[in-house]
Structures are given as structure tokens and as C-alpha cells.
Amino acid sequence: MGATEAPPALKLGVQDAIAGLALSTEAHWNQTEEDWRIFLRDGIVFGIRDGARLVATAALLPYSGNNAWISMVLVSATHRRRGLATRLVDACLDTARKNGLTSWLDATPDGAAVYGPLGFTPTLQLRRLKLARPARAEAPPLSLATLDALAMRDRRASGFDRTALLSAFAQRPGSRIVGTDGAIALLRDGRTARHIGPLLADDTAAALALVDSIVRSETSPLLLDAVASQAAFLEGLTASGWTVERPFQRMRFGPATVTGKESPFAVAGPEFG
């Protein structure tokens, strides 16, 4: 594909999950094949191919209340700086506009510099943290919580009804919905690390106590996408060995249609919101 050519942006299907996974793996992201299947089954994923090879993607995942999440904006290293990501994000925005949807995304600092001029407005900030080697210790078993309890609390925090997404997460092998007094979280497998989120809690102490209980029950590396405004929570995590990997800036394109009644301590991930 020459630099001046304009390959078509195509809608992808569930048969493209493995090809999408190859792109996110090249970028060292934590997505699994099942994550890709959620976007391909429940959302709209645009892609660009070079011959038979998928070289760029962007996804639009609808939520309730006329909202949708833009994510999985990926371009293979061999095809960058050709405007492919911009074309695919434009395709997502055009689809959202035609369907009356407000679009959201979580951008890296470089991405935020691109999305701002397109009309995206910054909202909250996130910090991705990693615990490379949980120090498993003897601990009482974690109390399991229900999907209904998690979905209700998640809806109160985000303003979106994401029962279908959380149910898909919870049904995977290895997933757990866990809770302590005043806190609840979902724990699921990723490609290279287990992911904690969303995490909702009454206060910082309850949030940190639940994370500590999860850490003591795990042996795999852990990831968590914390809300930056929860400063005491972030300080507690870093003091206990978590390291900040990168920031993300949540941004919105279009009018605000929902308002959360509480702030989460950690989100489901930049790809899901």
C-alpha cells in the first residue's frame, strides 16, 4: 500500500478477532480475544487492510442513554503516520453522529493532543497502575458478590447501564466479582496481567482494603486503572508497591447526557470506560 493511496475503511466481524488481537498484542496492550469479541459482536469496529492483513482499527461500543465508547484505536508500526487512525476515528464519530450518540474515549497524552482539536472535551483523568509480583499471603477467602450488585453500583457511578458488558466479563473463566464492607470490584484475566475494575467503594479505606484482599489472593501480575482525583487511594496503592505506568485523559465529544452520583476508584479499563 503506497503512502498516497486511500484504502477503504471496512466494518469488521467476529471472524476478525484474532487479527485484532495481533494488533493489540503488537502494541503490548492487555486485551484478550474475548475482549475483541465484545467489540466485534456488540459494537462497530472499523478496520483497514493491506492486502489480507489487518493494519488499523477503531471501535465504537454503544452504551445506554445515547452514549458510546471509542477505543481499540490501533495502527501497526509498519503503517503509522499515514492518517489511518484519524480516518477510523472519523468513521466512529460519523457513525455516532448519525445515531445521536455522545462519544467518549480515554486517551494517552499524545492522543489527547490529537483529539482536543477534533472537538473532544477533557473530563476526568486516570492512572494505570501495575503490581508486578503480588506477595501472596495466607488470607481468608474473598467474599463473592453478585452481578446485580456490581451493575447497580456501576450504573450509579458511571450513569451508564453496562449490565451486558459486566455480565460478559463475569462469565469468563477466572473472573470474580468480590466485595467487602462498603466496596465491590470485578477481577478478570487479561493477556499479560489480571485486571481489577470497575472498583466502587464507600470510601478510600474500603477501596484499599478490598485491593489488599485481592492482592493477597493472587499470584499473577495485576493492573488497575485508578481515577486520578482519588488521591488518597493512589497514594495508598503506590505506598504498598503499585507503580504508575501511564496516564489517560477521559474525553467527551458531544453534550453530556449522564451524570454519575459517585466517583469510582477504578474503571473497567481505558478500552471500556
**10-100 CATH:** 3.40.630.30
pTM given for the model: 0.91
Alpha-carbon distances, residue 155 vs 136, 187, 258 (angstroms): 32, 18, 10
Dist CA 85 CA 88 (whole Å) = 5
Residues of each domain in the chain carrying CATH 3.40.630.30: 10-100
* Cis peptide bond prior to 173, omega within 30° of 0: no
Among the listed ranges 35-49, 79-93, 136-150, which one has the minimum average pLDDT value?
136-150
Whether 259 shows a pLDDT value over 50: the answer reads yes
Helices (H), the chain: 17-26, 33-42, 84-98, 109-118, 147-158, 163-170, 204-216, 231-239
Nine-digit cell string for 210: 478490598
Dist CA 256 CA 104 (whole Å) = 10
- 137 closest CA partner among 211, 205, 218: 218
What is the DSSP code (8-state) at residue 101? Answer: P
Give 179-197 pLDDT, tens digit per residue.
988 999 999 999 999 999 9
DSSP reduced 3-state for 250: strand
**127-267 CATH:** 3.40.630.90
Whether 173 shows a pLDDT value over 90: the answer reads yes
Whether 2 shows a pLDDT value over 60: the answer reads no
Whether 198 shows a pLDDT value over 60: the answer reads yes
